[in-house]
Structures are given as C-alpha cells and as structure tokens.
Amino acid sequence: MKKRKLHFKRQEGLVGYIFILPWIIGFLIFTAGPLLFSLGASFTNYNITSQMDFIGIRNYEKLLMDDQLFWTSLYNTLYYVAFSVPLTTIGAIFLSVLLNQDVPGLRFFRTIYYLPAVLSGVGVYLLWMQLLDPGTGLINMMLGWVGIDGPNWLFDPEWTKPSLILMKLWSVGGGMLLYLASLQGVPKSLYEAAEIDGASTWQQFRYITIPMITPVIFFDVVTSLIGGFQIFQEAYVMTNGGGGPVNSLLFYNYYMWNKAFKVFDMGYAMAMSWVLFLIVFVLTMINLKLAPRWVHYEGEAKK
C-alpha cells in the first residue's frame, strides 16, 4: 500500500515535469545561454566587438568602491521603487473595486481607465512633458483651480522623480485589470452573509475583499518591484538622453545602458546587471518568505 503510494507520487512528479517542460526547454535554449554569457563577461573587459579579457572582480570592485554614479543611480531607483510600488498597488486595488460595482457605463469606465496602460512610447512621454509644464501645463493648471501653486516638476530635482511616479500612476490600468480578474473569484455569498451580519462597506472590503485577492496583490507587488527596478525609457526620453537635473533621473538601468551602448563598456554593464539581480533577488525572496503570513490561498488547507 505504502509502496504504491510512493510509486504514485513519483509518477505524479514526472507529470509535474511534463507540465513545466515547455518552460524548461525554452529556458535552456533561449535564456540560459545569454544569462550565463553575461555572468561570465561581467568578469571581463568585454566591449562587444574587440576585447574580452578576464579581469577578475575588477568591474565589481570599481562599481562598489569607486563609482559615485552607481550609488546615485541606485538611490534614484530605490526612491522610485519605494514610492511607485505601494502607490500603484493601492491605486489599482482602489480602482478595481470601484469598477467592480454595478455602475452605469461600466464597460466604458473600465476601458477609459485601462487605456493609458496601453499607450506607450516616446509620444506619451513627450506629451507628459507638456502636461507637466510648470507654466501652461494642464497639471499645474488643475492644481491652480484648487488653489495649489504647482511645483516645477521636471525642472526641480526634488520633483523629477515624483513626476515620473505620477506618470506611472496614470497607467495603473494594467494592475486594475489583474485585480478585476481576481475579484471575479470572490464569492458573492460572502458579501451577502456579511451584509446580514451588519458589516459596513469598509469592513467588507477589509475582511472579505482584501484577503481574497491577496494572491494577486502578492503577484502585483513582486512583479512591480522587479519592473520598477528596470525603469529606463521614460527617463531616457524625458531627459533628452541626459540624467535630468542634478542626475536626479539617472536610474540604474539608464546608467547601465549608457555604459553598455554609449561607452561600450559592456563588461561593466553586465557586472551592474548582476548586482541589480542580487538586490532584486534578495528583495523577492524576502517577499516570498513573508508571503505565507499574509497571502491567503483558498487552495491550501487551513492550518
């Protein structure tokens, strides 16, 4: 009996591998090689076209000990991540809850809020430069209506990163979509029961909605964190290829891109990418470890 169960388990394990086989094959063929290459080249002076000599850990040494801009870019990126991740998460949840109610014109509302997430590219960033114009821009105009004297946004090093976070908030629709999908799995009967017990709307939200969508909140936080560290294009476009006032928009990937494709110090850029990997990996592992404390999977047996 026990033997059979073991056999069954082993067989099930095999099935498991079959299920993830496409990913394993793809990983081995398309991803693993380039990743290993970049890891290896991070210990060389690789410049893409003419040299690749082993130089030990010199790139890493220089990066951590001797490169002020590395720290500037890391600080900028951490700042951006620290604010944009919680704000977009909260914004997306809030929006998805509003858009999961029975409201006239629901389909239109959802489409409108989702639209900015689809808009991308240089045009949008230049558009935001106009909107953030401290004098005639729409944002400060609207702030003016409510009596607020708007900041100098992209010209003031204190406000450049908030400008980008604001822009990010505008495209919160992607996250909203995730939460909407997740909310479909929350049984209506739970709300009905709570209603009869006299729970307020806030209590329902806090004790039913939130726990039920924690798996997706977890997903959103982890992926936005990873994505947030990769911020590049918006800063690149909005600073005309510079680093913004006082390098306040010199983000990690931006600096890395400069090293890789402007100066052709690809070995250094690869070392940078592995340092970033380590940082993000540790943060993600912390997230994964903390997850059981707050992420509620319906599928798991309650302990």
Q: Which residues 193-252 are close enough to bind other proteins by CB under 8 A?
A: 195, 201, 215-216, 218-219, 222-223, 226, 229-230, 240, 242-243, 245-247, 250
Total of residues contacting other proteins (CB under 8 A):
132
Q: Are residues 254 and 232 in contact, defined by beta-carbon separation less than 8 angstroms?
A: yes
**Of 25-33, 75-83, 203-211: span binding other proteins (CB under 8 A):** 25-33
Contact pick of 6, 64, 82, 118 for other proteins (by CB under 8 A): 118
Contact pick of 2, 3, 107, 289 for other proteins (by CB under 8 A): 107
**Of 82-90, 203-211, 279-287: span binding other proteins (CB under 8 A):** 279-287
Least CB distance to other proteins at residue 59 (A): 12
**Of 79-87, 106-114, 203-211: span binding other proteins (CB under 8 A):** 106-114
Question: What span, in angstroms and rounded, lies between the C-alpha atoms of 165 and 251?
Answer: 13
Least CB distance to other proteins at residue 264 (A): 5
Least CB distance to other proteins at residue 273 (A): 4
Give the 3-state secondary structure of residue 45. Answer: coil
Least CB distance to other proteins at residue 81 (A): 13
Question: What span, in angstroms and rounded, lies between the C-alpha atoms of 186 and 158?
Answer: 42
Contact pick of 86, 144, 185, 292 for other proteins (by CB under 8 A): 185
Contact pick of 6, 138, 286, 290 for other proteins (by CB under 8 A): 138
- In degrees and rounded to multiples of 5, residue 16 shows phi and psi of -55, -45
- CA dist 73 to 68, 211, 251, 256, Å? 9, 36, 5, 9
> Long-range contact list for 285-292, CB < 8 A, 24+ apart?
287/218, 287/221, 287/222, 287/225, 288/222, 291/218
Question: What span, in angstroms and rounded, lies between the C-alpha atoms of 225 and 92?
Answer: 15
Q: Which of residues 43-102 bind other proteins (CB under 8 A)?
A: 47-50, 62, 66, 68-69, 95, 98-99, 101-102
Give the 3-state secondary structure of residue 44. Answer: strand
